[in-house]
């Protein structure tokens, strides 16, 4: 079998994510017949049908699902390689630290700059959806992440933990309480994926009632707070995030029986960078009190 063309893989991923050749072609800015030919060529190269096509739908086959799982990290690795080579060509050497909202990386940045004055340190704000992806695609060398995350292929170093709070509309029946139990929130609508708060997911009324509401994907803290303030639901946020994004139209209430949020440093286990190892060792000694 000939080597698989990364361009064809990118085309395949677009179709697999859209499950529609027309929309995928628009996303890729190419003609639909060209896209169809490229996918057929990829299927021929792999000796497997990737999509089951009918007049009404396009679906992934078992082979297609497997290729999608394997193609995404391969494409990300290729993009990361391109970024690192371009960075090396530009000089001076840079080191990028990803970080989630509410987390202050300043103490670690200053300590690392003192240790490695030859390296220019940059920071990159991430979200729940890309805090790990920035490592795979080369945008960041290390990422300060909020667990849980998919840890396959990563090295993880625990840093600290912090409580999580319920974020409620200011006029909510529980707003202003000294604290609540997770059971007090069982009949609320959660403005984030239930798996992010398993304590709520396991007792929640809405998923079992058949009246579960769906909103468009909410990725940023600012969007979550807008929805909460409008009375559309509640959110669970770490203490540092709740403090950083204080506003008069929402109330942050401690939740007694929620496990703390765990913050860790993550990097690709396959990378043998001296700078990454030095930063990882340093991060374990930094006082993260500014974030609490």
**Residues 145-164: tens digit of each pLDDT:** 999 898 988 999 999 999 99
Residues 120 and 138 occupy one common structural domain: yes
Q: Which residues pair with 267 in a beta bridge?
A: 155
Residues 99 and 128 occupy one common structural domain: yes
Q: Which residue has the higher pLDDT, 53 or 141?
A: 141
Answer yes or no: is pLDDT of 74 > 80.
Answer: yes
The structure tokens 């609540």 sit at 180
The structure tokens 């992934």 sit at 60
The pLDDT of residue 292 is 45
The pLDDT of residue 80 is 74
| CA 167/CA 218 separation, integer angstroms | 15
> Contact 98/140 with Cβ under 8 angstroms?
yes
The pLDDT of residue 91 is 55
Residues 168 and 244 occupy one common structural domain: yes
Average pLDDT over residues 254-265: 94
Instruction: State the chain's mean pLDDT as an integer.
Output: 88
Residues 60 and 100 occupy one common structural domain: no
Average pLDDT over residues 270-280: 92
Residues 156 and 168 occupy one common structural domain: no
The CATH number given to whatever domain includes residue 68 is: 1.10.10.10
Residue 49 lies in a domain: yes
Q: Which residues contact 239 (CB under 8 A, 6 or more apart)?
A: 102, 162, 163, 164, 165, 292
> Contact 253/182 with Cβ under 8 angstroms?
no
Total number of domains in the chain: 3
Residue 84 lies in a domain: no
Average pLDDT over residues 69-97: 77
The pLDDT of residue 108 is 95
The pLDDT of residue 1 is 44
**pTM of the predicted model, to two decimals?**
0.69
Residues 155 and 173 occupy one common structural domain: no
Residues 101 and 233 occupy one common structural domain: no
The pLDDT of residue 71 is 87
pLDDT in tens, 168-227: 999 999 999 999 999 999 999 998 888 889 999 899 888 666 655 554 456 688 999 999
Residues 103 and 141 occupy one common structural domain: yes
Answer yes or no: is pLDDT of 89 > 90.
Answer: no
Residue 80 lies in a domain: no
Residue 179 lies in a domain: yes
Residues 127 and 96 occupy one common structural domain: yes
The pLDDT of residue 214 is 55
Q: Which residue has the higher pLDDT, 257 or 93?
A: 257
Average pLDDT over residues 60-66: 91
Residue 150 lies in a domain: yes
Answer yes or no: is pLDDT of 7 > 70.
Answer: yes
The pLDDT of residue 218 is 62
Average pLDDT over residues 35-57: 88
Average pLDDT over residues 101-112: 93
The pLDDT of residue 69 is 87
Answer yes or no: is pLDDT of 51 > 50.
Answer: yes
Residues 52 and 170 occupy one common structural domain: no
Of the candidates 236, 28, 70, the one whose C-alpha atom is nearest the C-alpha of residue 146 is 236
**Residue % of the chain over a pLDDT of 90:** 52
Q: Which of 28, 46, 73 is the last residue of a domain?
A: 73
- Token pair, residue 61, equals 């086959």
The domain in which residue 99 lies consists of 92-160+261-291
Residue 87 lies in a domain: no
The CATH number given to whatever domain includes residue 229 is: 3.40.190.10
Average pLDDT over residues 54-60: 84
- Least trusted range by pLDDT, from 82-91, 92-101, 108-117, 211-220: 211-220
| CA 3/CA 267 separation, integer angstroms | 28
Residues 39 and 169 occupy one common structural domain: no
Residue 83 lies in a domain: no
Residues 156 and 268 occupy one common structural domain: yes
């Amino acid at each position: 079998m000939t080597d698989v063309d990364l361009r064809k893989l990118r085309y395949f991923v677009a179709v697999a994510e859209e499950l529609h050749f027309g929309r995928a072609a628009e996303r890729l800015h190419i003609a639909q017949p060209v896209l169809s030919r490229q996918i057929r060529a990829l299927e021929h190269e792999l000796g497997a049908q990737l999509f089951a096509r009918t007049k009404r739908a396009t679906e992934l086959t078992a082979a297609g699902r497997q290729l999608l799982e394997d193609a995404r990290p391969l494409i990300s690795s290729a993009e990361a390689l391109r970024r690192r080579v371009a960075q090396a060509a530009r000089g001076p050497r840079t080191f990028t630290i990803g970080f989630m909202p509410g987390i202050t990386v300043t103490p670690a940045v200053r300590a690392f700059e003192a240790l490695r004055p030859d390296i220019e340190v940059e920071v990159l704000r991430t979200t729940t959806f890309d805090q790990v992806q920035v490592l795979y695609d080369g945008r960041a060398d290390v990422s300060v992440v909020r667990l849980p995350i998919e840890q396959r292929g990563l090295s993880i170093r625990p840093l600290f933990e912090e409580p999580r709070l319920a974020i409620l509309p200011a006029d909510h029946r529980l707003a202003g309480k000294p604290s609540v139990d997770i059971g007090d929130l069982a009949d609320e609508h959660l403005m984030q994926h239930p798996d992010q708060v398993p304590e709520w997911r396991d007792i929640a009324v809405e998923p079992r009632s058949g009246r579960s509401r769906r909103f468009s994907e909410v990725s940023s803290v600012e969007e979550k707070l807008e929805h909460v303030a409008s009375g559309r639901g509640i959110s669970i946020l770490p203490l540092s995030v709740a403090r950083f994004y204080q506003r008069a139209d929402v109330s942050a209430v401690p939740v007694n029986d929620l496990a703390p949020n765990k913050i860790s440093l993550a990097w690709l286990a396959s990378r043998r960078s001296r700078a990454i190892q030095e930063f990882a060792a340093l991060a374990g000694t930094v006082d993260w009190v500014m974030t609490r």
